[in-house]
A and B are shown apart, each in its own frame.
Chain A
Amino acid sequence: DIQMTQSPSSLSASLGDRVTITCRASQGVAQDFAWFQQKPGRPPSLLILDAFTLRSGVSPRFSGSGSGTEFTLTISALQAEDIGTYFCQQYTSDPPTFGQGTKVEL
C-alpha cells in the first residue's frame, strides 16, 4: 500500500496568514492526488482533484501543486471558515490511501 505522510499534524495561524500543508507519498502517484477539508461532524469536502484542479465553487484561496511523491496545499490568506482538518489522498492505485490529517486552528 502507498503510505501518505502529511506535515504538520497541526498548525496554528492567524487570519490572513499564508498556510502550507505538505503530503509525501511512499511511491510515485503521478497527479492522482486530492485534498479534502473536513469540519467537525461533517463528511470530508473535496477541495482539489488531480493535484491542482480546484473543484468548482472552492475558493481560489486554495491551491494545490506537486506531482510524483511531493504535494502541497496552500491557503493564500487564511479565513475563519478555513478552520478544520485537511486530508490528502492518493488514488493512483488500490487501496486509495489518506494522509493522517492536518488540523488548522486559529
Chain B
Amino acid sequence: QVQMEQSGPEVKRPGASVKISCKASGHTFNSYGISWVRQAPGRGLEWMGRIIVYNGQTTYSRKLLGRITMTADRSTDTAYMELKNLRSDDTAVYFCAMVTFGGVIVKPTDYWGQGTLVTVSS
C-alpha cells in the first residue's frame, strides 16, 4: 500500500525559509513525480510545482519562481520542498502528492501526504 509521509508542522517568522519532506513508501512505480499543492485556511487548492524523482527535473509555478526549490532523494524515495522569504500569505497546509505519467500527460493519483501546516507569523 502506497503511503506518503510528510514532516511535521512548522512555525516561521516572515522572511524565514521552510523545508518540508515527503517520503513515499510501498509503491512499485519505476518512474513517478511528486507535486506540491498548498491550501490556505478555508481556501482552495494551489499547485506549487512538481519534481520527477528519477531525474530531478522540476517545474514550478510562475508565481513562486525564485522562492521555491524542490529536490528529491531517489535512494530514500523522499522529496523536499523549500520555500524561502516566507510571508504571512504563505500560511497554509502543504500537501505532497504522487503523480504518474501517461505518455506526455502527468496524471494525479490518490496518493497524498497528510499535509503539513506552515504558519508564518511575527
Cβ contact within 8 Å between A32 and B105: yes
Contact with B59, one of A55, A94, A100 (Cβ below 8 angstroms)? A94
Determine the distance from Cα of A66 to Cα of B113 in the docked complex, in whole angstroms: 29
Count of chain B residues with a beta carbon within 8 Å of a chain A beta carbon: 20
Interchain CA distance A92-B46 in the complex, whole Å: 16
Query: Chain A contact residues (Cβ within 8 angstroms of B): what range?
Result: 20 to 34
Q: Which residues of A contact B (CB under 8 A)?
A: 32, 34, 36, 43-46, 49-50, 55, 87, 89, 91-92, 94-101
> B interface vs A, CB < 8 Å?
35, 44-47, 59, 61-62, 95, 97, 105-110, 112-115
9 more CB-based (< 8 A) A-B contacts, given A43-B113, A43-B114, A46-B109: A36-B108, A43-B115, A46-B108, A49-B107, A50-B107, A92-B105, A95-B61, A96-B35, A96-B47
